[in-house]
């Protein structure tokens, strides 16, 4: 599903060069559940942005679903991002003036899907996350857990094969946090490739495969034996 | 993205910030309102002035002595030019398309009746004068068609002169003294009102030949040729020139067709309308700057949203269009409000000050609305480009 080879990402801050990713190789199969952990500045966010096609590597190749993503143009990457990748953010990133329904609908709207086709999809997504009674509410009228569930519904509405979650519980209390993790793991059970970036040890340990990063390099890649 | 979704998304931000959007649109509304109102006034004046000039009938060619390029009574002040005479007028009568020829002389004289006297404008006129002036006698009749040199001493009074001299009495058949000579009143003209400050009712009409003698003049001030409305004015004018050149030896007169006059006048008035429209345009520019400002603020505030849109797979182009669309919708809404403001204002102005005519052509309304959209487009481009060029990672981090 995902194959990174010899990935380097160098930022130039002033006249200083920051090596955010240092020769990273990573293979992720379809349906895997990965956690990426590491201290601040270890490059895990940069890696996630790269995987999410929001950023391009300075050198190295990135194959997503057998497509060489590192050679694509800006617009081609936007299309690929739309179809293949779902994002879940720490701060939800819902559009405040749109209702829960409209927020979930947004990717379909941007892709130009007919309204008649959109409605049942969005309703099904909201229904499965227990959000149907909240469909007409705006984000400010929802609790944190509900907001993150709306964000998950939006991230998965295009049926992407890959779901990238950046500190998905970082802004939630533990109850709604575990609720959100249950939903993400349930999605993984149904076949989605799940990558979670987190500081939270407990959350990181739940993943079947754990990656630890330090100073832009992968220092640990542990496959957890099923217990 | 589908068209309707595009509009809905563009509009959602405008609706979300109602107060701010209202005030921004108000700037455009005032600008468009000013443009519409001012051009309405300009266009109204245009129509009004043209109507003032065409009230004398449109199938008239005026011939004045002397060579002047502008229309007006130049008078026989140039000694080198031969005066236009009654014989010249007679000669023009022979052109087949000509329906009537009137020679004009104008001067001031005292008109007396009994103990009352009044100094008025005296017109030397002929039988065709009512056709040329589009003015009919209200009672009695106009001067009869006879040789102007031997015409009888008949006079036709303007309506105001009649009121002043005769009050409610019937003036027909009465004698008046004009410049010391005795005339019999045979008619009274209907009221025409003022034209450009010149009272057309405080006048008296007497035969041209007698007026020439009264003012001791050789030539007339103007010959007006009334021609068949079906005929080509340029052709008639050419024939007039040929005949007069044959009689005078060279062109020492000016032939002005109504078309020439209206064209010149229309050109001047168009510039007037354009000038007042441009004045309104200044406030429209200010409104455009308002949209520019609010869109820049909006892009700054919604950085996170822009990052999200990009993460969800929106292309730079889509982000660009969304923000331009927002500016255009904002400006168009303001423009529509401005149209109501401008058209309503023009109507109100016309209703309260009847002397100030207004006229709003539909094409102006459509053009004003289009102009509003273009202002929005122009003002939206810079902020939208800024939004589209944001790095999505930076944008997502901004919250």
Query: Which CATH number is A87's domain given?
Result: 3.40.50.300
Task: Could you list the beta-strand ranges (E) of A1-130.
Answer: 2-13, 16-28, 33-37, 59-64, 67-68, 85-88
Per run of 10 residues, the mean pLDDT along chain B (length 399 residues) is 84 89 92 89 83 70 73 50 82 85 87 88 85 81 83 89 87 89 91 70 89 87 84 85 86 81 81 85 89 92 91 90 92 92 88 81 86 90 92 82
Q: Give the gap in angstroms from C-alpha B284 to the nearest C-alpha of chain A.
A: 30
Evaluate if residue A167 carries a pLDDT over 80.
yes
- Cβ of B315 within 8 Å of Cβ of A79? The answer is yes
Matching residue, tokens 């979704």: B5
- Cβ of B393 within 8 Å of Cβ of A49? The answer is yes
Chain B residue with Cα closest to A98? B12
Alpha helices in chain B (DSSP H): 3-16, 18-54, 86-92, 129-133, 159-166, 208-214, 233-248, 258-301, 303-311, 316-352, 362-388, 392-397
What CA–CA distance (Å, rounded) separates A93 from B392? Answer: 13
Region of poorest pLDDT, from A14-28, A75-89, B72-86, B138-152 = B72-86
Cβ neighbours around B176 below 10 Å, total: 23
Could you list the residue range(s) of the whole structural domain that residue A219 is in? Answer: 2-223
Chain B residue with Cα closest to A158? B312
Q: Which of A178, A215, A226 is nearest to A200 (CA)?
A: A178
What per-residue confidence (pLDDT) applies to B199? 76
What per-residue confidence (pLDDT) applies to B185? 92
ipTM reported for the complex, 2 dp: 0.90
Chain A residue with Cα closest to B2? A112
Region of poorest pLDDT, from A93-107, A181-195, B105-119, B260-274 = B260-274
What CA–CA distance (Å, rounded) separates B314 from A77? Answer: 10
Residue B313 and residue A87 in contact, taking contact as beta carbons nearer than 8 Å: no
Bridge-based pairing of strands B222-227 and B98-113 is antiparallel
Element holding B194 (H helix, E strand): strand B194-195
- Cβ of A109 within 8 Å of Cβ of B1? The answer is yes
What CA–CA distance (Å, rounded) separates A201 from B38? Answer: 72
Total domains present in chain A: 1
What CA–CA distance (Å, rounded) separates B118 from B236? Answer: 40
Tell me the residues of A at the B interface, defined by beta carbons under 8 Å apart. Answer: 49, 52, 54-55, 74-75, 78-79, 81-83, 87, 89, 91, 93, 95-98, 106-107, 109-112, 114-115, 154, 158
Tokens, residue A198: 């987190």
Those residues with Cβ within 8 angstroms of residue B9's Cβ, 6 or more apart along the chain or in another chain: A109, B1, B322, B325
């Amino acid at each position: 599903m995902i194959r990174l080879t010899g990935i380097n990402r160098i930022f130039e801050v002033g006249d200083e060069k920051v090596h955010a990713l240092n020769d990273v190789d990573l293979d992720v199969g379809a349906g895997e559940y990965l956690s990426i952990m590491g201290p601040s500045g270890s490059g895990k966010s940069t890696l996630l942005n790269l995987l999410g096609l929001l950023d391009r590597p300075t050198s190295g190749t990135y194959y997503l679903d057998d497509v060489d993503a590192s050679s694509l143009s800006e617009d081609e990457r936007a299309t690929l991002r739309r179809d293949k990748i779902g994002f879940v953010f720490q701060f939800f990133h819902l559009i405040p003036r749109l209702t829960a329904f409209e927020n979930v609908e947004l990717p379909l709207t941007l892709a130009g899907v007919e309204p008649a086709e959109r409605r049942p999809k969005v309703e099904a997504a909201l229904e499965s996350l227990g959000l149907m009674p909240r469909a007409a509410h705006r984000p400010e009228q929802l609790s944190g857990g509900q907001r993150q569930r709306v964000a998950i519904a939006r991230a998965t509405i295009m049926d992407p094969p890959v779901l990238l979650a950046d500190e998905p519980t970082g802004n939630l209390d533990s109850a709604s946090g575990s609720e959100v993790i249950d939903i993400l793991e349930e999605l993984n059970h149904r076949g989605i490739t799940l990558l979670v970036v987190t500081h939270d040890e407990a959350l990181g340990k739940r993943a079947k495969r754990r990656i630890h990063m330090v100073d832009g390099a992968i220092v640990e890649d542990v496959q957890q034996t099923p217990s | 993205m589908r068209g309707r979704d595009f509009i809905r998304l563009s509009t959602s931000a405008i609706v979300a910030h109602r107060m701010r959007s209202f005030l921004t649109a108000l700037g455009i509304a005032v600008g468009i309102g000013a443009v519409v109102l001012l051009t309405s006034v300009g266009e109204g004046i245009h129509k009004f002035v043209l109507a003032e000039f065409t009230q004398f009938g449109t199938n008239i060619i005026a011939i004045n002595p002397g060579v002047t390029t502008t229309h007006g009574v130049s008078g026989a002040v140039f000694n080198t030019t031969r005066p236009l005479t009654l014989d010249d007028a007679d000669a023009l009568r022979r052109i087949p398309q000509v329906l009537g020829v009137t020679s004009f002389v104008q001067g001031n004289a005292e008109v007396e009746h009994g103990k009352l006297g009044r100094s008025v404008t005296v017109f030397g006129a002929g039988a065709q004068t009512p056709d040329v002036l589009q003015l009919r006698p209200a009672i009695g009749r106009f001067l009869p068609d006879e040789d102007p040199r031997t015409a009888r001493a008949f006079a036709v009074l303007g309506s105001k002169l009649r009121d002043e001299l005769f009050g409610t009495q019937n003036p027909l058949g009465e004698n008046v003294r004009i410049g010391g000579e005795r005339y019999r009143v045979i008619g009274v003209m209907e009221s025409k009102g003022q034209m450009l400050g010149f009272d057309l009712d405080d006048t008296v009409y007497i035969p041209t030949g007698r007026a020439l003698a009264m003012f001791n003049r050789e030539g007339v001030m103007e010959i007006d040729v009334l021609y068949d409305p079906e005929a080509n004015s340029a052709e008639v004018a050419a024939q007039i020139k040929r005949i007069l050149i044959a009689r005078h030896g060279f062109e020492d007169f000016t032939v002005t067709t109504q078309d020439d006059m209206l064209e010149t006048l229309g050109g001047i008035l168009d510039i007037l309308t354009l000038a007042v429209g441009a004045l309104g345009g200044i406030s429209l520019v200010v409104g455009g700057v308002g949209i520019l400002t609010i869109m820049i603020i909006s892009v700054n505030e919604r950085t996170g949203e822009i990052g999200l849109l990009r993460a969800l797979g929106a292309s730079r182009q889509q982000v660009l269009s969304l923000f331009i669309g927002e500016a255009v919708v904002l400006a168009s809404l303001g423009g529509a409000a401005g149209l109501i403001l401008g058209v309503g204002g023009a109507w109100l102005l016309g209703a309260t000050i009847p002397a100030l005519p207004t006229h709003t052509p539909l094409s102006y309304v459509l053009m004003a609305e289009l102009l509003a959209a273009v202002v929005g487009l122009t003002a939206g481009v810079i902020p939208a480009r800024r939004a589209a060029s944001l790095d999505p990672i930076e944008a997502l981090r901004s919250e």
